[in-house]
Amino acid sequence: MESALSITEYLIDIKSDNDDNSSERTLTDDQFFLLYFIMGTYFGPDLNHEPQKSVFQRRAEDLPPYSSETLANSCMKTVEVERIYYHILRKADKSVVLKLPFLQQFLHGNLSTSAKTQTPPHPQFDDLFSPNLHPHSISKGQYETINNIVLISDPQIEYIRPEYLERFKRLTKLDDLRLDKDEARFHTFVDGKVLYNIDVKEAGYHKETRPVSCTDTQPIHTDNGALSLCGSGHCVSTGVNVGALAELGSDMIFVRSKPSREEWVNMLNATNGGCLLTGSATMGQIGQSIGNIDIGECEDSYLFRVSLPGVKRDEREFSCEVEDDGKVSIRGVTVTGEKTVCRFDQIFEMQSQKLCPPGHFSVSFKLPGPVDPEQFSGNFGTNGILEGIVMKARKKIRR
């Protein structure tokens, strides 16, 4: 065996098809190289009582085939495999990144890499993971999963020939192959620049008080009739990442004494799209309403409701995970708060932007006690409310 694995056996040299009519349906050499390299290097079979190794590493070490009896009977969401692929290519040029429909075809073993033949001429996902041992299934009637595969977040590279390793790093613009598991599993691929990110602090729950919202803001009080004036409609609340505030151009003016009507009008006229709050309106919440939480409890389960206005309901870009200790982690993408909105061939310049800015967000909070994550059901309705019910963990009986 060669000292370093030549993966030309698995990464077939594909010549780009220069036919303009078929370019959208044909994988380029670089696209297929990255696709097959990622799937064979970062994923491997999940086996009982064996160290986790990628498909390519097992082939390089000439390990014997495994059987269904040695599998761990685990599963990974297909959407997580997709996220990992896009996370690895997050810095790469778009020309080498497969669009989602083609990636899904590859994962299901039916990606045609040639426009001139109906038979897929190049290896598929099924050539890495046999469908008999790694079938696709539907978990809990909701999520598509791939059975018995595992992420190799820190793959061995000794068996990979230097020219292939260098090519991978050049195309991905990565310095090494190590991944952060959580970042990879929850990565969201978005066309275009991510404009804003909301980092929401974990909110604890106590029976004596209501659950604390991750984006609760303190009401703006006025002393002696003071005026609160928020330009652009953005007010910073606890837990909000203010890294992009310089681009938002938000301002707040506090007036020590109650101004006259003429002074009010002059200040309002001096703003561009500003809003004037007086009376009881100054006591209300201003800013993002995303992440407001209600929690209920009965004898055997907990119920929670989370306000997520303007959040995409696409499963590939939204996740809700429940852990044994009762921690609930929600990740997704908001699509509101744009500066311009296009509708019916018309372009609207928004005069105010009070809704949550577009971009990635995360919300986490803790339920009052431990739970059984396997008995969790949730529904993200069109009303923007995520409702979940999870059974409490069974108490162990001492003998």
Find the domain containing 311 and state its range: 197-210+289-392
pLDDT of residue 310: 86
Domain presence at residue 190: no
Domain presence at residue 215: no
pLDDT of residue 233: 36
pLDDT of residue 359: 84
Among 266, 283, 300, residue at a domain's last position? 283
CATH number at residue 206: 2.60.40.790
Residue 301 sits in the same domain as residue 357: yes
Q: The tokens of 232 are what?
A: 């652009």
Residue 163 sits in the same domain as residue 206: no
pLDDT of residue 282: 55
Domain presence at residue 191: no
Residue 169 sits in the same domain as residue 24: yes
Domain presence at residue 219: no
pLDDT of residue 6: 42
| pLDDT tens across the length of the chain (399 residues) | 434 444 434 443 333 333 333 344 578 889 999 999 999 999 999 999 889 999 999 999 999 999 999 999 998 988 889 989 999 999 999 999 998 888 988 998 887 755 444 444 568 899 999 999 999 988 765 678 899 999 999 999 899 999 999 999 999 999 999 998 877 776 655 443 332 223 333 333 333 333 333 333 333 333 333 333 333 333 333 333 434 434 444 455 666 566 777 777 777 666 655 666 665 555 555 445 677 888 988 888 899 999 888 888 888 889 999 999 999 999 988 888 788 888 877 888 888 777 777 888 888 888 988 998 888 888 888 888 999 999 998 866 555
* Predicted TM-score of the model (pTM): 0.48
pLDDT of residue 181: 83
pLDDT of residue 343: 80
Residue 166 sits in the same domain as residue 59: yes
Residue 128 sits in the same domain as residue 167: yes
Residue 174 sits in the same domain as residue 127: yes
Q: The tokens of 382 are what?
A: 């069109």
DSSP secondary structure code for residue 115 in this structure: S
Q: Kindly report the CA angle at 76 between 75 and 79, in degrees rounded to 5? A: 145
Answer whether 294's CB lies under 8 Å from 216's CB. no
The DSSP string of 68-112 is GGGB---EEEHHHHHHHHHHHTTTS-GGGSPPHHHHHHHHTT---
Residue 28 sits in the same domain as residue 82: yes
Residue 264 sits in the same domain as residue 162: no
Please give the Cα distance from 127 to 130 (Å, whole number): 6
Residue 63 sits in the same domain as residue 131: yes
The DSSP string of 187-209 is ----SS----EEEPPPB---TTS
Domain presence at residue 66: yes
pLDDT of residue 178: 92
Domain presence at residue 44: yes
pLDDT of residue 263: 75
Domain presence at residue 73: yes
Write the pLDDT tens digit of every residue in 19-58: 333 344 578 889 999 999 999 999 999 999 889 999 999 9
> What's the first-to-final CA gap in the chain, in angstroms?
57
Domain presence at residue 217: no
Among 185, 219, 241, residue at a domain's last position? 185
Please give the Cα distance from 314 to 278 (Å, whole number): 39
Residue 160 sits in the same domain as residue 19: yes
Q: Give exposure, 239-251, as e/b (b: 16+ Cβ within 10 Å).
A: bbeeeeeeebebe
Give CB contacts under 8 A, 24+ apart, made by 21-30.
21/115, 22/115, 22/116, 25/112, 25/115, 26/113, 26/114, 26/115, 27/98, 27/102, 27/111, 27/113, 27/122, 28/95, 28/96, 30/95, 30/96, 30/171
What is the count of structural domains for the chain?
Answer: 3
Residue 127 sits in the same domain as residue 201: no
Q: The tokens of 199 are what?
A: 């980092």
Please give the Cα distance from 266 to 254 (Å, whole number): 15
Residue 241 sits in the same domain as residue 177: no
DSSP, collapsed to helix, strand or coil, labels residue 246 as helix
Say what angle helices 29-42 and 78-88 make with each other, to 10 degrees. 120
User: In terms of DSSP H, where are the helices of the chain?
Assistant: 29-42, 55-60, 78-88, 100-107, 125-128, 162-172, 181-185, 245-248, 261-269
- Pairing relationship of beta strands 149-151 and 43-45 according to DSSP bridges: antiparallel
